[in-house]
Structure 1
Amino acid sequence: MTRVWIIPVHDSTRVRDVRVATEEAGAQARLDTHRTAVAALVATELATNLLKHAGGGRLVIDLVDRPGTGARGPAVQLVALDHGPGIRDVTAAMRDGYTTSEASLGAGLGTCLRISSAFDLYSTHRGTVAVARVDRGAGQEETRSAFGAGGINVSLAQAEHSGDAWSCARSGSRMTLMLADGLGHGAKAAHASSAAVDELHRVAHLPPAEILRHMHRALRPTRGAAVAAAQLDTGSGELAFAGVGNIGARLRSAGSWEHLVSHPGIVGAQFPATVPVRRLPWRPGSLLVLHSDGLPSRWVPPDDAGLLAHDPAAIAATILRDASSAASPVRDDTCVAVLSCDRPAGRP
């Protein structure tokens, strides 16, 4: 099931909580002692930066697979989000060992970049998003194509399990991004969305409508889920989209955003007789966003070309951060997943 750790970092006592949660995540990802210590060092540095430079923020920790990147098993993903003043000189901040804080470990963001399997940073006057992944190997992620996928998943009220899940699977020239929202909250919702993830990796060779039909059978023992599958054929340059239930989707192509609409129903419970499939060209610079209904329906797509060139997980995290605030917090489990192209994933 989708296990997430969400730690608000507003005082120094939470830095230890971040380290402990990261060590627990490392154990679940079956990292060895050294790689778990690497993840804990990166997480501690990110948490310290939230306190000293942003006036606080939150750290989201979960396990992610990186299909097609050469990653060895699940990685621990660390996402730091804040609404601080941003980093004035990102280039300087990314130098190995650079720090301006006496409370820092002295590792600095540059060291985090060097020792992580993947690291990316996006910073503006609206705040900073930092994404790090640590897997079982000692090197950086190796991308095998110009296409990348990434996401972020947060549970309602910092619960242990999120009822949402996302995953990406590749079969030949087909790359399928899937997002599932299990009905309700908690462990039973997480069981439904996790069943969708498992089924995706069994049937990724099929077209989207058939994938959803197989998921319907697989999810019958569960409470069901809303599910959307977007499949990019990297050979033909065509995107096929199909969704059942309340999953949001927006495609950016040729500089503008377009809604992709899911069909009413529940995968595993009330499956429609016909699943409409939308087919669109995938052009250079195209970008797809899938999200659960925890994201406000009127969220504003990013228009910063600089952001759109970043790691897909950083894009997803920025969308999540900017769509909510203390005055308008998320009211459900929330998952955002991004499919992008024309860039090597995992490096800034």
Structure 2
Amino acid sequence: MPRVWDVPVHDSTRVRDARVAAELAAGLAGLDGRRTAAAALVATELATNLLKHGRGGQLLIENVAPATGPGVPGGMSVVQIAAIDHGPGMADVPAALRDGFSTASSLGAGLGACRRVTDDFELHSVPGRGTVALARVGAARTGGTADTSLPAAAAVRAGGVNVPFAGAEYSGDAWAWVRDGRRTTLMLADGLGHGPEAAFASSAAVEALHRSGHLPPAEMLRHLDTALRSTRGAAVAVAQLDADTGRLHFSGVGNIGARLRTGDGWRPLLSRPGIVGAHRPHTLPEQQVPWGADCLLVLHTDGLPSRWASPSDARLSSFDPAVIAAVTVREASSSARPVRDDTAVAVLAPTRPDRTP
């Protein structure tokens, strides 16, 4: 089930909680002592930075599939650490990442050192809006290469963040992506309600996805409906990119939101009412839209406000999809709009030329 550590960092006592959470996540990922220490170092540094420069914030720690490719059943996972704040932001991100730069009263490691010991590290900051730092630590640093078998417009990567309701141990939301031949599929599932039973339902959807990556989205949802019959059910959305046709196929059941950016505009992709595993509609239409190198797909569960503003930063599409997801969560959240459910955001984006798919 999706185990997520949501650590609010508003005083120095929570820095230790961040370090312990990273160590626990590293244990679940099967990391050795050296890589576990790296994850703990990064979590500690990012938590300290939230206090020193972000006026507090939150640290989301979870196990995700490696960024080098979609996950597979029983495959290895990496520790993902996302630090999110609504602070003053950074005017000079390159300086913050420079070796030797460190914050007062921190470990003296600095963000540059964090970047060196991680598999992936990115920093997105806007003065006056806040900062998102994203790090992943896996068993080994094995830089990959781009998949040259795919057309440039169809080479994609995926990422996401998951925020459990009220700091719960498990989130009822789950996302995953798989690749079968020249089809790449991203799925987001929201188990009915929240808590362990909701997490069980969304986890069942993830397991079923890995057995059905060869199916088109509508057929995949029918397969998931059967797999989720023993659970309380879930809202599920499936987006699949076909590299041969250069088209994105989408089908969804329940209240999973989906927005597609093409060029400078955003358009919604619509799901049908119902619950996969309980009340699936008899007909499942499948939307088809062109996919290009300027496209960006955002899937989100109903923990996000229904009228959230689509990301407007023109630079954002060049960032890791998990950074885009974290910025989306940050921009849509505030103390005036308390979250009443688990919140997950998953993003499908073209692969940058200098990045692995």
| Distance in 2, Cα, partners of 1:141 & 1:70 | 13
- 2:147 alignment partner, one of 129, 144, 148: 144
Count residues with an aligned counterpart: 346
> Aligned to 1:305, what secondary structure does the other structure show?
coil
Is 2:175–2:187's contact at 8 Å kept on the other side of the alignment? Answer: yes
Q: Could you tell me which residue of structure 2 aligns to residue 123 of structure 1?
A: 125
Gaps in structure 2 of 5+ consecutive residues: 149-154
Pair 1:230-2:232 in alignment:
no
Match of 2:106 among 96, 104, 114: 104
CA separation of 1:268/1:70 partners in 2, compared to 1, >3 Å: closer, same or farther?
Answer: closer
Write out aligned runs for 1:148-227 (5 A).
148-227=157-236
- Once the two structures are TM-superposed, the CA of residue 138 in structure 1 deviates from its matched residue by 2.8
Query: What is the CA-CA distance between 1:142 and the residue it aligns to?
Result: 4.9
Q: TM-score, normalised by structure 2?
A: 0.94
Which residue of structure 1 lines up, in the alignment, with residue 50 of structure 2?
50
Match of 1:7 in 2: 7
CA–CA distance in structure 1, aligned partners of residues 201 and 256 of structure 2:
15
1:313 aligned partner? 322
Q: How far did 1:68 drift?
A: 4.7
Distance 2:172 2:335 in 1: 22
Preserved CA contact (<8 Å) 1:156 1:331: yes
> Is the aligned partner of 1:73 residue 2:69?
no
Give the aligned residue type for 2:119.
S
Letter in 2 for 1:271: R
Question: Which moves more between the two structures, 80-89 or 66-75?
Answer: 66-75
Are residues 299 and 117 of structure 1, via their aligned partners in 2, closer, same or farther at CA, if it must alter by over 3 Å?
same
Match of 1:91 in 2: 94
Aligned pair partner of 1:278 in 274, 284, 287: 287
TM-score (norm 1): 0.96
Question: 257, 262, 273: which is aligned to 1:253?
Answer: 262
1:22 equivalent in structure 2: 22
Query: Could you say which residue in structure 1 is the equivalent of 2:342?
Result: 333
What's the offset of the Cα at 1:234? 2.1
Deviation at 1:345, TM superposition (A): 8.0
Asked if structure 2 preserves the Cα contact closer than 8 Å seen for 1:292 and 1:334, the reply is yes
Q: Which amino acid aligns with 2:80?
A: Q
Q: In the alignment, which residue of structure 2 is the partner of 1:287?
A: 296
Residue 315 of structure 2 aligns to a residue whose secondary structure is helix
Q: For residues 215-235 of structure 1, give each alpha carbon's deviation from its aligned partner in whole angstroms, at most 9, with x where no partner exists.
A: 000000000000000001123
Q: Which runs of 4+ in 1 moved over 6 A?
A: none
Secondary structure of 2:334 counterpart? coil
- SS of the residue corresponding to residue 339 of structure 2 reads coil
Contact 1:167 1:177 in 2 (8 A): yes
Identity of aligned residues (%): 60
Asked if the contact 1:70/1:141 (under 8 Å) is kept, the reply is no
Secondary structure at 2:237 match in 1 = strand
Q: Which amino acid aligns with 1:278?
A: Q
1:298-337: per-residue Cα shift (whole Å, max 9, x none)?
0000121111211000000000011010111221100000
> C-alpha separation between the residues in 2 aligned to 1:100 and 1:35?
23
Cα offsets for 1:61-89 (capped at 9, x unmatched): 11111365399710110000001111121
* Equivalent residue letter for 1:15: V
User: Which whole-Å deviations, capped at 9, do the CAs of 1:272-298 have from their partners, x for residues lacking one?
Assistant: 111010000002210000000110000
Shift of 1:245: 0.7
CA distance in 2, matches of 1:249, 1:345: 27
Structure 1 pair 142/87, CA: closer, same or farther in 2 (3 Å)? farther
Deviates more, 1:282-291 or 1:137-146: 137-146
- 1:314 and 1:208 mapped to 2: Cα distance? 26
- Tell me, which stretches of 5 or more residues in structure 1 are unaligned? none
Over 3 Å counting, the alpha-carbon distance change for 1:201 and 1:137 in structure 2 is: same
CA contact (8 A) 2:296 2:350 kept: yes
Question: CA-to-partner distance for each residue in 1:223-259, whole Å, 9 max, x for gaps?
Answer: 0000000001123210000001111000001210000
How far apart, CA to CA, are the structure 2 residues paired with 1:105 and 1:68? 30
Letter in 1 for 2:174: A
SS at 2:327 equivalent:
helix
Q: Distance in 1 between matches of 2:226 and 2:9?
A: 42
Distance 1:346 1:151 in 2: 17
CA contact (8 A) 1:165 1:197 kept: yes
